[in-house]
């Protein structure tokens, strides 16, 4: 029995030594470094592409740390200490991934915008830690060679290039709009069947509150809030809809497009669904009041408003067959300002809807179309 125990211990030691030779650090370090480099690139892309309140120092720090560890692995500088440091770092990553998995998180957040299940990340981290622990120990190098120094210097240069789009990325504009009021209150569901956020700039972030109405005397479970786009998300909602009005807080990150933006928001409570339509104008600061001109006589006035940050000059106006004439003034419309113009009919309008096209000097909104029709 005693000899059997000694034999078992001896076999474990022999197996451990063989495993260290199979998982040589000289080979293990490359896939580990590849994982770190992939994480560096995805984090750098996310920090450069997504809106931020300022310079993303935290993201830059993570990129720099993971890049430095990858460079040490690739260059094979101080292999014994680098192997231990990498094993410790991925042990921390493993603990974080397990914690996120227990919380049923959708993504570990390790690879920027690429969503990876935390359970998959935890398995990968565990495999890397075991590979590093079982890899063969290398002799410590006291003085790095020129080749190793060159690899590290070139890697630092490439990492510094990743910081350029992060530093040049403009800070996000954040706005608080309070509660969006409706002209007519609905008996149940959203207070507003449709609502206009108005002019917004691309990549700006807007937070607003919508109210939903429960006409019954009992609490109703709020099962889910669904939106058509990831740009529009609910960030605060009650678990139950109390009798009367309940607030829902939304955050809208305007995409990098120009033109009208419209999405549907759906609230689900049991078998009941309520919808409201969200509207915004992205990058187009000019708007007309009223939106459609209704001619009660041969001449009708309307107002053009500039909600942008720069003055906009109106160049000229046209209409099909010159049935409607609008004279524009040479003075630009100041930011936050407006101008009132007169539209004159030169003939009889048909029952169909026509449109005035106003040309501007603003490159992101070169034309403004204003429908017009005769009074029914």
> What would the pLDDT profile of 276-306 be if each residue is shown by its tens digit?
888 889 989 999 999 898 888 889 999 999 9
Q: Would you kindly state where each structural domain of the chain is located, as residue ranges?
A: 2-168, 174-282, 286-374
Q: Do domains 174-282 and 286-374 have the same CATH topology?
A: yes
The pLDDT, as a whole number, for residue 181 is 46
Give mean pLDDT, residues 195-218.
82
Joined together, the tokens standing for residue 232 give 């529009």
pLDDT value at 360 more than 90: yes
The pLDDT, as a whole number, for residue 353 is 76
Joined together, the tokens standing for residue 91 give 């042990």
Q: Which of 42-46, 74-78, 175-179 has the lowest mean pLDDT?
A: 175-179
The pLDDT, as a whole number, for residue 67 is 87
Average pLDDT along the chain: 80
- What is the architecture of the domain spanning 174-282? Sandwich (2.60)
By percentage, how much of the chain surpasses pLDDT 90?
A: 17
**pLDDT tens for residues 230-284?**
888 888 888 888 888 888 888 888 888 888 898 888 888 887 777 888 888 998 9
Task: Go through the chain and tell me how many residues it has.
Answer: 376
The pLDDT, as a whole number, for residue 185 is 45
CA angle 360, 363, 365 (to 5 degrees): 60
Q: Which residues pair with residue 212 across a beta bridge? A: 190, 246
Helix, strand, coil in percent for the chain, rounding step 5: 35, 30, 30
The pLDDT, as a whole number, for residue 250 is 86
Fold of 286-374: Immunoglobulin-like (2.60.40)
Which one, of 207, 151, 214, 169, lies nearest residue 53 by Cα?
Answer: 169
The pLDDT, as a whole number, for residue 317 is 92
């Amino acid at each position: 029995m005693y000899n059997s125990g000694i034999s078992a211990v001896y076999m474990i030691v022999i197996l451990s030594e063989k495993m260290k030779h199979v998982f040589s650090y000289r080979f293990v370090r490359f896939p580990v470094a590849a994982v770190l480099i992939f994480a560096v690139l995805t984090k750098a892309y996310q920090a450069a592409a997504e809106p931020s309140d300022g310079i993303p120092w935290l993201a830059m720090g993570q990129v720099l740390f993971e890049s430095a560890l990858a460079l040490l692995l690739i260059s094979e500088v101080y292999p014994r200490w680098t192997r231990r440091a990498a094993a410790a770092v991925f042990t921390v990553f493993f603990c974080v991934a397990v914690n996120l998995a227990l919380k049923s998180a959708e993504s570990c957040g390790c690879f920027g915008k690429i969503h990876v299940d935390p359970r998959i990340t935890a398995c990968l981290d565990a495999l890397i830690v075991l590979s590093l622990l079982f890899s063969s120990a290398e002799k410590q190098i006291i003085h790095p060679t020129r080749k190793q120094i060159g690899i590290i210097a070139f890697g630092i240069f490439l990492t510094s290039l990743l910081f350029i789009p992060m530093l040049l990325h403009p800070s996000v504009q954040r706005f608080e709009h309070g509660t969006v009021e409706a002209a007519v209150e609905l008996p149940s569901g959203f207070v507003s069947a449709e609502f206009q956020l108005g002019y917004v700039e691309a990549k700006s972030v807007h937070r607003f509150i919508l109210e939903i109405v429960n006409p019954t005397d009992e609490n109703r479970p709020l099962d889910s809030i669904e939106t058509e786009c990831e740009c529009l998300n609910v960030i605060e909602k009650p678990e139950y809809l109390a009798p009367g009005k309940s607030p829902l807080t939304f955050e809208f990150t305007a995409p990098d497009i120009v033109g009208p933006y419209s999405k549907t928001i759906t609230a689900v409570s049991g078998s009941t669904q309520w919808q409201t339509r969200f509207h915004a104008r992205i990058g187009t600061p000019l708007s007309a009041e009223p939106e459609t001109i209704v001619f009660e006589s041969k001449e009708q006035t309307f107002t053009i408003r500039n909600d942008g940050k720069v003055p906009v000059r109106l160049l000229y106006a046209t209409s099909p067959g010159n049935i409607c004439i609008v004279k524009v003034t040479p003075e630009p419309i100041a930011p936050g300002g407006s101008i009132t113009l007169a539209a004159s009919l030169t003939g009889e309008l048909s029952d169909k809807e026509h449109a005035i096209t106003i040309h501007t000097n603003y490159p992101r909104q070169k034309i403004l179309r204003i429908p017009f029709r005769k009074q029914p």
